[in-house]
A and B are shown apart, each in its own frame.
Chain A
C-alpha cells in the first residue's frame, strides 16, 4: 500500500535502483517500506507494526523528556582481563564496535524525567557486540541502580542482549550477580524497577537483571528466553512449538506482566510508575 503510493510518487520507479538507506525490507511482513516513515513511527513498520531494533539514542528520545537527560559513566570502556583472542583480539573487537556504534560499550545509563518524574534509565545497545554484558555493562548498570537507590528514584532498564560476553569469561558471568545484588538493595529500599524486554533478550541478561523487574514489559514479538533456539533444537531434536520464546509466548506462560507497543511505551511506563512511586519531594511549586 505504502509502497504503491511511494512508487506513484516516483521516488524510485525502478526497484533495482532503490537508493541505499531510503528503503527498508520489513523482516515482519516482507514488504519494502519507506525508511523515513519507519523512523517517524518510532522504528516500527507502517504495514505490520514490526518493531525494528532501536538504537539507544533513539530509545532515550522516546522515553525521556527533552532537555532533561544526563548521562552517567559514559567514559567507561572494556579492559581485556583474559587477553582474549578468537578470530581477532578482544581489544580490536572493542575498538571496531566503538567505531561502528560511536559508543564505548553496550549500555547507556543516566537519569532524566519521564513525563516529569525523575528516573534512572539504562538502555542496552544491540549493535555493540550483540548487546553482550561484560564488566562495563555490569559496572554501569550497577552504578545506575546504586545511584538511583541513593536518590530514591525508580529504575528502568531497556534490555536487548545475546547474553554474557564470552571474551571476559567468568568476569562477565559474575556481572549477573553484581547487577542483581544492586537491584536487590534497590528493591529492599522499596523502590520500583521496570524491566523492558526488547528483541532479542537472552541468556545471561535474561537470567539476571532483565527478569527482576517489579513490572516486566516486553515489546511485541520480541525473542526472549534463556537458551538460544539452535541449542534447544540440538538438545531435544524435535520441532519447537509455534511462537516459542516470543513475547506473546512468555506472556501466556505467566512470566511477564504486559506487552506494550513502542508507540504506547512511554505513556504506559508513566502510568505504572504513578501507581508504584510517589517521589518524596513532589515539586509543589
Chain B
C-alpha cells in the first residue's frame, strides 16, 4: 500500500518554510549528484530558507530573541516566492510538477480524506500499484478516490512503475467507478503520471483499449466526477482517468498531448529542445483554462506544493468539497448534459471563414 503509515511524522504546518530545509538540501544534493540541478530557479528561495533556519537555530541555541529578524526574512521569502512562481517558464513548471518532494496522491489522500479504504484489483488480471483506488470521505462527501501514484522511495517507485499505469490499472479504475455509480458515490481523480506505460506487456494487454473505454465510459458515468491534476498530466495516460465534470489543476502542474521531451524529439529532432516544446504546447494551467480545458486553477502556497504539502492539501480539499457540493445538487440528466457539453465545445476550427470555438462550435451544426 502506498499510503504513509499512521504515526509517521508529517511535514510541518504551513507557516512559512518547513524547518527541514537542511535535510532537503542534502537530499537534493545527493539525488542530483552528477546531474545538473534542474531547480536552479529556486536557488534564491532555498538560500533564504537556509538563512531562516540558521537564525532559528541560533535563537534556540543562544537563547536570544531573533523573532523580528526571522519574521522579516519570512516576509522576504514569501515575496520572493510570489515573484518566482509568477514568472516561471512552462518548462520550469514541468520540472516542478516532477519535483521529487512534491506531494503524491497518497499524501493528498492522507490529508484530505478522513478515512480511506483502499480497494485493489481489476478483477480480471491484476492489481496495478500505479493507480490507487479506494473509498474515502472528503468533507461531508463519501467518495470513490482514484489517484495515480509514482512512489516515494525506490521500492515503492518500482512497485508503482514510476506512476506509469498498465491496462489493468485503468481497468481497475473503471471497475471501481462502476461500483461508485451503482452506490451513488461521486468520484475524485488525482492525476499524476508521465504517461501510460510504453511496454510490451502493456501493448499485449490492450493499453489503447483500456484507455479508450475509460474515456468513453467516464463521459457516461452516472455520478459526479471531479478531476484534479496534481503533478504530471501525461497525455492519454492522464486522460484515462481524466474525464469528468470539473477539471482542477495545481498551478505548477502540466497537462499535455505528449511530454515536452517527446515533442522536441519528434518536431525539433532534438530532445534537448524540450523547453521550447514545453513553451509551444500550451501545457500550463493558465493557457489550458483559456481554452476551456481546465475549469479551476489551484494556487500553490508560498514555496510551492513540494514545500508546503499540508497547505496545498487544504487548498485542494476546499476546492474538491466546493465542487462536490455543487455537482451533487444537479439532477443526473443535467449533470451528464453539462459534462457532454464541456468536451463537445473544446477545440478551434475555421468554418466558412469564421473561427469557431466553445459554445459557438457546438451550436454551429445544430
Contacts and interface: CB of A to CB of B under 8 A. Distances in A.
B349 A136 contact: yes
Contacts of A165: 257
A217 B262 CA distance: 30
B219 A181 contact: yes
Contacts of A147: 365
A154 B256 CA distance: 33
Interface string B181-220: 0000000000000001011101111111101110111011
Interface string A246-265: 00001001110000000000
A138 interface: yes
Interface string A159-194: 000001111111111111110111111011000000
Interface string B279-301: 01111000110010100000000
A175 B217 contact: no
Interface in A225-266: 225-227, 231-232, 235-236, 240-241, 244-245, 250, 253-255
B343 interface: yes
Interface in B228-271: 235-236, 239-240, 243, 255-258, 262-263, 266-268
Contacts of B199: 227, 232, 235-236
Contacts of A85: 280
B34 interface: no
A281 interface: no
B44 interface: no
Interface string A121-163: 0000000000000111011001100110000000000000000
B344 interface: yes
B236 A166 contact: no
Contact of A226 (B236, B239, B281, B347): B236
A142 to B, nearest CB: 7
A208 B212 contact: yes
Interface stretch (A26-34, A48-56, A74-82): A74-82
Nearest to A211: B212
A209 interface: yes
Interface stretch (A2-10, A35-43, A61-69, A199-207): A199-207
Contacts of B213: 211-212
A170 B236 contact: no
B257 A227 contact: no
A259 B236 CA distance: 26
Contacts of A207: 196, 207-208, 211-212, 215, 236, 240
Interface residues of A, number: 68
If over half of A's interface residues share one DSSP class (helix, strand or loop), that class is named, otherwise mixed; here it is helix
A164 B257 contact: yes
Contacts of A187: 216
Nearest to B211: A207
B352 interface: yes
B362 to A, nearest CB: 9
B343 A78 contact: no
Nearest to A205: B208
Contact of B257 (A142, A172, A208, A255): A172
Contact of B280 (A82, A203, A236): A82
Interface in A98-128: none
Contacts of A244: 200, 203
A235 B291 CA distance: 33
Contacts of A232: 198-200, 203
Contacts of B209: 211, 255
B350 interface: yes
A178 B344 contact: yes
A203 B259 CA distance: 13
A73 B207 CA distance: 32
B257 to A, nearest CB: 4
B268 A77 contact: no
A137 B200 CA distance: 29
Contact of A81 (B211, B257, B267, B291): B291
B280 A181 contact: no
A86 B267 contact: yes
B37 interface: no
Contacts of B41: none
A87 interface: yes
A78 B239 CA distance: 23
A174 B281 contact: no
B347 A76 contact: no
B365 A173 contact: no
Contact of A240 (B200, B240, B346): B200
6 smallest CB-CB distances across A and B, nearest first, come from: A135-B347, A227-B198, A211-B212, A181-B219, A86-B267, A79-B348
24 contacts: A75-B352, A77-B351, A79-B355, A81-B282, A85-B280, A135-B348, A139-B361, A166-B266, A170-B283, A170-B291, A173-B236, A173-B255, A177-B219, A177-B239, A181-B216, A181-B220, A181-B339, A185-B340, A206-B212, A208-B211, A211-B212, A212-B213, A227-B203, A232-B199
Given A135-B349, A174-B293, 8 more contacts: A82-B281, A143-B365, A171-B291, A172-B257, A173-B256, A180-B216, A211-B213, A236-B199
